[in-house]
Amino acid sequence: MSALLEVRDLVKTFGTGEAATRVLRGLSLTLEAGEMAALLGPSGSGKSTLLTILGTLMKPTSGSYMMLGQDLITAGDQELTIFRNLHIGFVFQFHNLLPDFTALENVIFPTAVREGRETTAARARGRDLLVRMGLEARIDFPTAKLSGGQKQRVAVARALMNGPELVLADEPTGNLDRESAMQVMDLIGHINREEGTTFLISTHDEKIASLCRRQLVVGDGRVTG
Amino acid sequence: MLYALKIATRYLTASKAQTALLVLGVAVGVFIFIFMSALIGGLAEFILSRTVGDISHVTIEAEATDPAVLISPQGHVLAVVERGRTRTATLTEAETFLPLIAAVPGVTAVSPQITGAGFLTRGAQVSQVSVTGVEPGLESAILDLDGYMVQGSARLGAGIVVLGRTLADDLALSVGQTLRLQSSTGVTAVLTLGGIYQTGTGGMDRARAFVSLSTARTLFAMPQGVTRIEIKLRDLNAADATARRISALTGLDAVPWTDGAEQLMEALDAQAQTGYFLKTFALITIVIGVASALLLSTYRRRPEIGIMRAMGAGRGFVVFVFVTQGALVGLMGGLSGAALGYLALLPFPSRDAFEPGTLPMDITQGSYGLAITLTVIGAILASILPARSAARVDPVTAIGQ
């Protein structure tokens, strides 16, 4: 395996002066391509901040971040938007689907927004992903009519739409019942094994974490284990 | 950007009631714009047709020559030829110029006339009148005499006179009766009343007599030439330019109707300015309405905007989605308002049939295209602020909401 991403000495401080809060304190981390890693740690330990920085949605106060050989600290907003679209998928705790769109429309969004239209090929891939998620009967359903577990599976399908090298999942099962949570994790594991997509999953749940081959513990703004 | 158009359309159709209200608000603004355009335009048309519709648009009058003066070698004035009090100057070569003037673009009628003063006598009753000699067949070329006839005919022939209703009533005359007309040169003619008109204008109905040009020649002892040439134009507003052209062509002093009508022009200008203000306010209302509705939409959709940004949508894409929404609202509101305005104006009489007591609305002056274009532009401008605000949404904060 080769390094997919590498962060060194990441520092992230929110606020200034006396109100400044240092959330990351020189965090370093390397993720190999095809890894499925869990990110554990108490609330406020900096897990979500780390995922946000890795997802290029936020820049650190200092430190370096290289992914696929590209320096993502010095890249501009436009460059990062394109990079994110092509190489990074997101799964959020509250699915965060577009409410006025169907399951399929949500899934193909990352491709359609890049190509400027919904192509036949994108629709075909979106359908295929939804079938793999066990949602063949819900393809054209408005997202408002889906259950929590179904919505999260749509979110996973959307994260995979552009075939990203990295999927960042922030508490993807935190809002689901045990059965739905296990279904989602089974899917993630299956895709990781089958397609070699790297997953970094933030969770409080030890059982969910145990399903990952690597566990990273974040504490005091660093990876401690 | 087809995909941005789809997202914009979906956002608008997702909140149908809100969008319908927004479009209705814009449509009302456009309706007001169109209504005001038709009213102000129609009113101007009405005022112009009532004030200058029946007068000459360009008039050529012979320039009076200075009286002859005999001066001694020492510089003393020995004799002065007094200016004639009854005889105006004469356009002796009018016949030559008439075809030239008639061929000027925009000229619809040319009426050579002989005018002068006279007295109408019937029995012991005498009335002072202004006499106008008109070429038979051109009676309605300038003043629509045919349209104002209440009795008899406007057709002028040898020995025929046409009078206003007030004058005919004063002299207790009816069509077919005879009367005497003595001109200021002292020539008297016995004429038959051929018709009575009523324009509604006091001076015209009380003290004006129309005779044929040949009768006027006899009355005013003018065997050739005319005293004035009246010219009617297709476009009232072209009078200044056409007068200049005729002057250049003939060397005569052609005077447009606008000379001496400054007050009327100022009043029309003030009226037009009022219309511009009202229309501008209507447009401002549209812009504020669209901007506030889209700002609200931006705020409500912040989490979605954050998700889109996280999924790889650029700031430009987000701007385009919201500007497209503004443009669509402007287009729908513009078209609806224009249709409503047109339908509302349909029951009003056409510009040629304005009647006292009705609003002089001119459906052809609704400025429909302008209203729609300005509305779409206004709505696009109004959406830029919300769109920029949406593009600046921080995905991390928005997703966390």
- pLDDT by residue (tens digit) across A178-216? 888 888 888 889 889 988 999 999 998 888 899 999 999
How much of chain B, in percent, has pLDDT values that exceed 90?
A: 42
Which segments of B88-159 does DSSP mark as H helices, in order?
94-102, 145-148
**Residue with token string 């400044």:** A20
Task: Give pLDDT tens digits for B128-151.
Answer: 999 999 999 888 888 888 889 999
Mean pLDDT, to the nearest integer, of B164-181? 92
What confidence score (pLDDT) does residue A50 get?
Answer: 92
Distance CA B183, CA B123 (A): 17
Distance CA B180, CA A51 (A): 111
Q: Residue B86: pLDDT band by 50, 70, 90 thresholds?
A: very low
What confidence score (pLDDT) does residue B73 get?
Answer: 79
Residue B282 carries which DSSP code? H
Structure tokens given for A93: 């705790």
The per-residue pLDDT of chain B, averaged, comes to 87
Q: Minimal Cα distance from B310: which residue of A?
A: A57
Contact state of A113 with B1 under an 8 Å Cβ cutoff: no
What confidence score (pLDDT) does residue B84 get?
Answer: 56
Q: Residue B66: pLDDT band by 50, 70, 90 thresholds?
A: low
Contact residues, chain A, for B11 at CB < 8 Å = 100
ipTM higher than threshold 0.95: no
Contact state of B3 with A98 under an 8 Å Cβ cutoff: no
Q: Would an 8 Å CB–CB cutoff place B18 in contact with chain A?
A: no
Task: Give pLDDT tens digits for B230-252.
Answer: 999 988 888 999 999 999 988 88
Q: Would an 8 Å CB–CB cutoff place A57 in contact with chain B?
A: yes
Contact residues, chain B, for A55 at CB < 8 Å = 310
Distance CA A48, CA A203 (A): 10
Mean pLDDT, to the nearest integer, of B31-43? 88
Contact state of B10 with A82 under an 8 Å Cβ cutoff: no
Distance CA B41, CA B237 (A): 14
Task: Please say whether the beta carbons of B309 and B395 come within 8 A.
Answer: yes
Q: Minimal Cα distance from A161: which residue of B?
A: B311
Q: Beta partners for B134?
A: B113, B212
DSSP string, A11-53: EEEES-GGG-EEEEEEEEEEEETT-EEEEE--TTSSHHHHHHH
The per-residue pLDDT of chain A, averaged, comes to 90
Contact residues, chain A, for B399 at CB < 8 Å = 92, 96
Q: Would an 8 Å CB–CB cutoff place A136 in contact with chain B?
A: no
Task: Give pLDDT tens digits for B105-122.
Answer: 999 999 999 999 999 998
pTM: predicted TM-score of the whole model, two decimal places: 0.73
Distance CA B85, CA B185 (A): 10
Nearest-CA distance A93 → chain B (Å) = 10
Contact residues, chain A, for B308 at CB < 8 Å = 98, 109, 113
Task: Please say whether the beta carbons of B311 and A86 come within 8 A.
Answer: no
Q: Is B258 buried (19+), middle (13-18) or exposed (0-12) by CB count in 10 A? A: middle
Greatest mean pLDDT range, B47-51, B131-135, B267-271: B131-135
Query: Which of A25-34, A70-79, B45-54, B178-187 is predicted with the least confidence, judged by mean pLDDT?
Result: B45-54
Query: Which of A152-166, B16-30, B85-99 is predicted with the least confidence, judged by mean pLDDT?
Result: B85-99
What confidence score (pLDDT) does residue B90 get?
Answer: 72
Mutate to test the interface with B, among A14, A87, A117 (most CBs of B within 10 A): A117
- Assess whether pLDDT exceeds 80 at residue B351: no
Which amino acid is located at B354 in the chain?
A: F
Q: Minimal Cα distance from A118: which residue of B?
A: B3
Backbone angles phi, psi at B202, to 5 degrees: -55, -55
| Helices and strands of chain B, counted as H and E runs | 13, 12
What confidence score (pLDDT) does residue B216 get?
Answer: 93
Structure tokens given for B283: 């447009």
- Assess whether pLDDT exceeds 70 at residue B338: yes
Distance CA B310, CA B399 (A): 9
Task: Give pLDDT tens digits for B366-396.
Answer: 889 999 999 999 889 988 988 998 888 888 8
- Pick the closest to residue A215 from A207, B76, A156 (CA basis): A207
What confidence score (pLDDT) does residue B58 get?
Answer: 92
Across the interface, of A57, A98, A115, the residue whose CB is closest to B304 is: A98
Mutate to test the interface with A, among B19, B311, B321 (most CBs of A within 10 A): B311
What confidence score (pLDDT) does residue A2 get?
Answer: 73
- Assess whether pLDDT exceeds 60 at residue B344: yes
